[in-house]
Amino acid sequence: MAFEKAGEVMDSRKLKILAAVVDEYIVTGEPVGSKTIMNHVKASSATIRNEMAELEKQGYLEQPHTSAGRVPTYEGYRLYVDSLMEKNTISDADKQRIDELFPETGVYNSDDEMFESASYALAELTKCAAVVASTAPKFSLISKVEVIPTGKRMYVILMITSNGSIKNKVCRLQFDLTHEQLAFFENFAKENLEGIAVDELSDEFFEKLSEAMGTYMMSLSPIVSALMNMSQEMSSHSVKVEGQKNLLTCKDFDQNEIITFLDNQNDEIKRFLNESFSGLKVHFSPEDGGFVIHNSSIITAPIEKNGVSYGSLGLIGPMRIDYAKFIPFLEYFADRITRMIAKEDDDDEQTKT
């Protein structure tokens, strides 16, 4: 086996040594020396030292102190995760633990409650922070907008998106809408809102929408204002973090950076969660414009509903997180949530029929 990057060829021995260094460092957190690697690779200590020196030159390892062993760089972790790591299978004991912390047959009043339960269980199992976002506005289109009269001068505005998200808001008007006004809005919504991406519903969009309504805007302005508020709620999908204490007690992290992250967690983590919709992703803090918590990694996996992106689940931990163990955990939880959501939909359909 060989690995080639930008004209640089690494033979199988170098790759085995790099994998061994990463595996050892994940467990101990201490620089790894050549004698330790001899337990993994059949070569002399001198040969291993030479190979480790080459890996350092190539940017995959670094030496924290003179005469110390080596530790992986984020480029070393990237190569390890992408090409060298052998994922573990989840043991029966771990599956039993997951069932106890996050029962599939549990009664959840909402998808958000289910997600929170899953992220809590994931944080408990991994001793990392677990993050969850329950909507994916970047990929959602408006499927339907409806105004439903519910009483004298009272209306419910309903907005449904292509990923299954439903928002509703009660709106009290100063007068009752006529059948003509309701019919106009129904047709107007079909022509101007349905099929529009949620993240396109800006203030400027609604200003143009209001102008296009002409004389009807006077009577329908409260409805438009309610739609603006609903779209803002959808597009700002909240990010929930469980296991913050695991970040605060991790010796690999600077406490001030953790506090900064917790104060701005939505903005810090949202872009990484959005990228998970194309599949499981592993991010390292020096990559992609940086992350406020140095020496950290973020692993994210998508959650689906009806075959489309519905949210994402992730882990935040030190860069020396146990990827081989925790990536299968994350995939298992994400698949489990997707299954549970599908079962809920099937049960709802059976109830209706």
When pLDDT is averaged across residues 40-52 and rounded to a whole number, the result is 94
Structure tokens at 265: 């967690």
Rounded to an integer, what distance in angstroms lies between the CA atom of residue 96 and that of residue 253?
31
Summarize pLDDT for 202-223 with one digit per residue, the tens. 888 888 888 899 988 888 888 9
Structure tokens at 116: 């929170």
Q: Of how many residues is the chain composed?
A: 353
When pLDDT is averaged across residues 97-101 and rounded to a whole number, the result is 91
Residue-range domains of the chain with CATH: 3-84 (1.10.10.10), 92-136+238-352 (3.30.450.40), 139-235 (3.30.390.60)
Summarize pLDDT for 129-148 with one digit per residue, the tens. 999 886 645 567 889 999 99
Asked if pLDDT for residue 2 goes beyond 70, the answer is: no
Tell which residue, 259, 250, 243, 269, has the closest CA to residue 319. 250
Query: 83 pLDDT band (50/70/90 cuts)?
Result: very high
Rounded to an integer, what distance in angstroms lies between the CA atom of residue 165 and that of residue 257?
34
Q: Using a cut of 0.85, tell me whether the model's pTM lies above it.
A: no
At 331 the pLDDT is 93
Give the residue carrying structure tokens 């296009």. 212
CA torsion sign, 217 to 223 to 226 to 231? negative
Asked if pLDDT for residue 191 goes beyond 60, the answer is: yes
Rounded to an integer, what distance in angstroms lies between the CA atom of residue 91 and that of residue 113?
26
Asked if pLDDT for residue 33 goes beyond 90, the answer is: yes
Rounded to an integer, what distance in angstroms lies between the CA atom of residue 31 and that of residue 76?
14
Angle at 317 between CA 314 and CA 318, to 5 degrees: 150
Rounded to an integer, what distance in angstroms lies between the CA atom of residue 175 and that of residue 81?
62
Summarize pLDDT for 270-316 with one digit per residue, the tens. 767 766 556 889 999 888 677 889 999 999 998 887 777 778 899 99
Summarize pLDDT for 150-164 with one digit per residue, the tens. 888 899 999 888 766
